[in-house]
Amino acid sequence: MTLWPKPADPDRVERKLMSTVEVADIRTMQQDVDFGIRQLVDIALRALSPAINDPTTAADVVLHLGSMMRKLLTADMPPPAVRGPDDTILLRPWDLSHEEYVAHAFDQIRQSSVGQPNVVATVLRVLRMLIAHAHNEDREEYVPALRRQIELLMDAMATRADLHTSDLERLRAISRETAPDPAEHDV
């Protein structure tokens, strides 16, 4: 690493910097949440591929993504700039926003799942759960990105000529926030 300007005590600064850097062969989800999201999305995409055709695994991945996104949507993002004690500034221009995490978690799965109505139903339920969670946690600013995923998915499903009308109606019912989810058996 290069440090500029040269500090007054370079050995002490080097020791402090080296204690904050971890070098490893692989990155982990704890270090890079987006990496974990992308790993899960890759598993879902493989499961949805014609060669594998495993919608159960894809739906399970969507549920795991939902759990991860529940935590992520209520977490505060680190500031894009941090001022150090010597008025030095650390910039973090490449950090993702909550809306970008939503897109990374659901865009590709949404695009690839249209041939699997049961996976689509799971995606819709997870998105509705995240919308309800955002409302409950006073994170209304993330609701439009979640609703957009539902709109795009339902638009794609409405154009499917091979989807039975009763299946489309079921998905429409699941997608509506005001209607009870048909999976709720106690309603």
How much is the pLDDT for 50?
94
> In the structure, how many helices (H) and strands (E) does the chain have?
7, 2
Q: Between residues 18 and 107, which one has the greater pLDDT? A: 107
**pLDDT at residue 180, rounded to an integer:** 67
Q: Is residue 1 part of a domain?
A: no
pTM of the model: 0.79
- pLDDT cut 70: percent of the chain above it: 90
pLDDT in tens, 96-142: 899 999 999 999 999 999 999 999 999 999 999 999 999 999 999 99
Per the DSSP assignment, residues forming a β-bridge with 98 are: none
Give the contacts of 172 (CB within 8 A, at least 6 positions apart). Answer: 154
Is the pLDDT assigned to residue 183 strictly greater than 60? no
User: Among residues 80, 84, 181, which one has the least CA distance to residue 131?
Assistant: 181
Residues 34, 72: Cα–Cα separation, whole Å:
10
| Confidence (pLDDT) at 21 | 72
Distance CA 119, CA 113 (A): 6
9-23, 30-44, 117-131: range with lowest mean pLDDT: 9-23
Q: Is residue 136 part of a domain?
A: yes
- Residue at token pair 């600013």: 141
Q: What is the pLDDT of residue 184?
A: 60
**Overall number of domains in the chain:** 1
The count of other CB atoms within 10 Å of the CB of residue 35 is: 14
Q: What does the pLDDT look like over 61-108, one tens digit per residue?
A: 999 999 999 999 999 887 778 887 788 887 766 788 999 999 999 999
Q: Assess if residue 59 is contained within a domain.
A: yes
**Residues 75, 78, 84, CA angle at the centre, nearest 5°?**
150
Does any domain span residue 32? yes
Residue 175 to residue 125: CA distance in whole angstroms: 7
The torsion angles phi and psi of 183, rounded to 5 degrees, stand at -75, -15
Domain encompassing residue 141: 23-175
Does the residue 183 lie in any domain? no
